[in-house]
Amino acid sequence: MPHVQPGPDYPYGSTPLRPQWRERWALGLALIVLICASGSLLAHRDIWPLERMALTIVFPALLGITLAFAPDPPTLISRLAKRLTVAGCAIGTLSGPWLAPMILAVPALLASSVAIGWFFEDRRHG
């Protein structure tokens, strides 16, 4: 397989992608995900079977923590979309049977992040 060189428009450029272990936003978002997942695990530990807890609590929490520590995209809209997705993962751990409809709502969440980003960019430049 040939080596592909990213063009100059690649969002991260040649900067190595490193986790944000000490970034306040990342730590705060990861903590929120952990608190929500822990609360949900405690609430459902005697009710749900293990595989249901893994699918509806543990996996969304792992995704949220992974995204929280992922490098921030360079644009405001992309950073906002990433943080809203992590918040959605935290809320998803508490949603139980409503997790599937929440996953279907992700495009609306991302569209709202674009709208919010445009609003803040207009306020900054106007």
Residues shown for the chain: 126
Tens digits of pLDDT across the chain (126 residues): 455 555 555 666 666 778 899 999 999 999 999 999 999 999 999 999 999 999 999 999 999 999 999 998 888 888 888 998 999 999 999 998 898 898 888 888 888 888 888 888 777 776
User: In the chain, count of helices (H) and strands (E)?
Assistant: 6, 0
Break the chain into its structural domains and give their ranges: 24-125
C-alpha dist (Å) from residue 114 to 26, 78, 104, 107, 121: 21, 8, 18, 11, 10
Structure tokens at 71: 């490098």
The pLDDT of residue 11 is: 63
C-alpha dist (Å) from residue 69 to 30, 34, 114, 121: 8, 13, 21, 25
Within a 10 A sphere around the Cβ of 52, how many other Cβ atoms? 13
This prediction has a pTM of 0.78
The pLDDT of residue 1 is: 44
